[in-house]
Structure 1
Amino acid sequence: MNARVHQPVHSSQHAPSYYAASANRQLAYPPLTGEQVADVCIVGGGYSGLNTAIELAERGFSVVLLEARKIAWGASGRNGGQLIRGVGHGLEQFSGVIGSDGVQELKRLGLEAVEIVRRRIEHFAIDCDLTWGYCDLANKPRDLEGFLEDREELRELGYRHELRVLQAGDMHQVVGSDRYVGGLIDMGSGHLHPLNLALGEAAAAHSLGVRLFEQSAVTRIDYGNEVRVHSAQGLVRAKHLVLACNAYLNDLNPELGGKVLPAGSYIIATEPLSAAQARTLIPQNMALCDQRVALDYYRLSADRRLLFGGACHYSGRDPADIAAYMRPKMLEVFPQLANIRIDYQWGGMIGIGANRLPQIGRLHSQPNVFYAQAYAGHGLNATHLAGRLLAEAIAGQESRGFDLFAKVPHMTFPGGKLLRSPLLALGMLWYRLKDALGNANPL
């Protein structure tokens, strides 16, 4: 039953997602014309850019923000809405560069990142359906063993929120599916309406004096002690530049563009469910995510739709019919939804780096140019952390977090734009094969 599906389109307006249809405010900012002068110019109107702008404005900087399309047009306005602790994957791999103390600090920053989001929503009274409660889902017993280790590590880091490991027989407390062998409940993570959060943050930035411009794609950057950022009809002169485009950086800066791979991710939204149906699927209204490389993630919206996402694509081509592609994945988890209509389908690009750690730093060749990108699909909290770290660095404040991220080297994907995606797709196929073999192994 795929009636009333809203097909994805690529335009200067928001993707026709459930989020765009349920946005609680409509914002419009003018295109850049003429010349603007500021302390800092930010390119990119998603979470990274907006939160850097807020942090800088609160420190007294004058800021101009340029967005090529609409505020939160990219992943910030389309993502799964899951606010989950942590940054990066396998942080111990970086101990040789930043030391064991640095690894521990990154883990603490991954917890602080969620608190930044919490405090931003509270401070600016942003209505974005923030709901606490999240569960990691174990696909195999080895995942469950990992959850026990995660719980102990989080406690050692001083994590103050409830953590509870569930065995297979307890899983119907959180999910109406027989697919999982256990879980880890985390009441310090949760979910929200991502576009409404971004729109609220844009309004907050504007209230602080940030000058926001939409439909203002950057056509050229002249680097130097004063950075000159050109659009089709305007110019910004600034002392500092922040590039916060993530998967949509394109060719704006080849040095950074070669270190982040755009990958497609997709979500479907069902018709509104009854209260009884919703309780059967997700009894405690948590966000949930499994542990596979090709993971599933899902949650309920405020009006009780199931939002079901996943299926990373590295080819650069979206499926012809996202709903037809994603619906079978949803039914593997929830076969009881076979007769439920899909109302919305959409996708977008996430930015992935080779080592899966967010890339936050400054250009060696241009020390007044800063950047944040490559959140690997976990950007809702990491972007907010990046905004704070970038603002601290620009303000000359001591920022151990910025220095730690900046020390980690990031590989440029080989082969240029033509070979980058096929090479990563081949690598991900290997990891998916390992996933499949692991699932066949009772260990």
Structure 2
Amino acid sequence: MKLVTWTLYFLWILPLILSKEIAITCIYSEECLLPCQSSYHYIIHWYKGEKAVHSYYLGKDQLAYQDGEYKGRTSLLIPSEIKKGNVSLSLKHMRIQDEGRYKCYAASDTLNEEKFVLVSVEAPVKSVDITIRADTVTCSTTGVYPKPTVSWSSDPPANNPLSSHYETDEKLFVVTSELKIGNINDLYTYNCSIKDTKDKTLYIASLKQQEISVEDEVILPCPFTKNNSFILTFSTAVLSYDSKNSKQQIRDEWKDKVSFSPEDGTVKLHNLDKEHMGTYTCKTTTAQQITTKQISGNEDTFICPVPKDQKYITTLDFDTTVLNYDSRTFEKPILDQWTNKITFPSEDSGAVKLSSLNQKQHSGTYTCESTTAHNRYITHTKVTLTGMKSHATMKIVIPIVVFVLIIAGICFVVKRCKRQHSQLDHKHTILKSKTTCTVKHNQHLMMSQK
């Protein structure tokens, strides 16, 4: 007799709820929030294609199977937000490779839900440089994504430009356009326009030469948007303006010569002398990310990472230029008062090492600009020093503390000596009293015997 075995398979299928996808744009190198709302938050999975981006269940993150591309870059919101149904994903240090379609999967014991987020990444134009050398005007921008378009306008008219671009390892574009102009006239205007292909924002760099008499005023166009700031330079910074907070700064010796109109973005120069002849550069930049560091006074901090395997020039500014370094010649001028506080390049990090800082003098924002043959890297680091006193205060406090301790020690010794002396006097009095009593007692006995 044969034994027949039957195996039953039960397939448990949870009802699935689908919704429309959401499209968002993230900024390169910054943090981006991929939105997702769900009533089910017992199990949460984020995927990009077959890659596991982030997982959460049993009340905590479960990252054992997370794809290596996302290690250390993902997080959900705080538990109270998750309980409210906000299962959004925070993705740090956005890369161009992060573009794509992400799936947000959320489930309870009986139901689950899928939502999709379409992510695009943008590296906006930070600055446009225009220079003239010999018979060529060059316009360039670096670290841009997607690839922008370049156009020219000029007076006098020029030949067709020659434009080129290449892609960096980070998938960012470096764009250069050259305009052959032949003989340079005494008066000329060259405008280079770079247009962002995504949001159609137009960035314009102008190179203009004009003649004015000493009595006249000259108007310089410095166009900007609400997210821009700009700096006007002539050998050194003359004027800076930040459109985010409408903060304007003019160098003291230029205050009677420069005026700025935020309404139309024009700079007026007047009361000029022969010493003011030359090239004025108006550089407009978008807002840049600021890194914040909080350290105590006895700690070292590393800022200003340098480009790897490339020749570069690095400038570090803190109110004024603190450090200039050229890796081609190894020249390293450092401001005198900073010589014992800066180590660069630091062997252990390849960055600027700051040490022995003073809370009052050295807290603030450090701006580092590193320039290679093709790229410019700008970083801002806000350093806050805590848990320390200024040197002047310490010089006063330490002697006072030492003096107080010495006085306290002397008082303690004197008080102890007095106490010991008092105890000796007391013992002497008791002994004297006992001796007197003994003598009187003996006298009394002798009289009794008689």
* TM-score, normalised by the number of residues in structure 2: 0.21
Query: Which protein has the bigger helix share?
Result: 1
More RCO (CA 8 Å, sep 6+)? 1
> What TM-score do you get using the length of structure 1 for normalisation?
0.21
Q: Which of the two has greater strand per residue?
A: 2
